[in-house]
């Protein structure tokens, strides 16, 4: 791995994006390989690594452009990352 790749991985954050309603798992590719999971109350949570703020804004732009109601977005706490990525 190059120095640049190592530096990038140090700053990559895990984010959760919660969307109103259910999305099929096929949307994973559209959201950069993020994990797509359903909640008990019928919403969808996208969880995965986001390299930087520009990448995060790109994901949120897709949510907006496709008319998906955004409920919340935020980083996953380091101690909860393993649970979220299962």
Find all residues with CB under 8 Å of 21, minimum gap 6, and list them.
42, 43, 44, 68, 69
The total number of residues written for the chain in this structure: 86
The enclosing domain of 67 has a CATH number of 3.30.70
Helices (H), 19-80: 53-65
Q: In this predicted model, what pLDDT tens digit does every residue of 5-22 receive, in sequence order?
A: 444 455 689 999 999 999
Q: In this predicted model, what pLDDT tens digit does every residue of 37-85 receive, in sequence order?
A: 999 999 999 999 999 999 999 999 999 998 999 999 999 987 655 555 5
Residue 42's domain spans which residues? 3-84
Predicted pLDDT of residue 76? 93
**Count: domains in the chain:** 1
Whole-structure pTM value: 0.75
């Amino acid at each position: 791995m190059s120095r640049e790749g190592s530096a990038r991985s140090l700053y990559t954050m895990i984010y959760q994006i919660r969307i109103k309603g259910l999305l099929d798992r096929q949307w994973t590719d559209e959201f950069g390989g993020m994990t797509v999971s359903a909640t008990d109350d019928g919403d969808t949570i996208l969880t995965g690594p986001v390299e930087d703020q520009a990448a995060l804004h790109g994901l949120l732009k897709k949510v907006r452009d496709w008319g998906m109601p955004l409920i919340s977005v935020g980083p996953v706490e380091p101690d909860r990352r393993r649970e979220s990525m299962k």
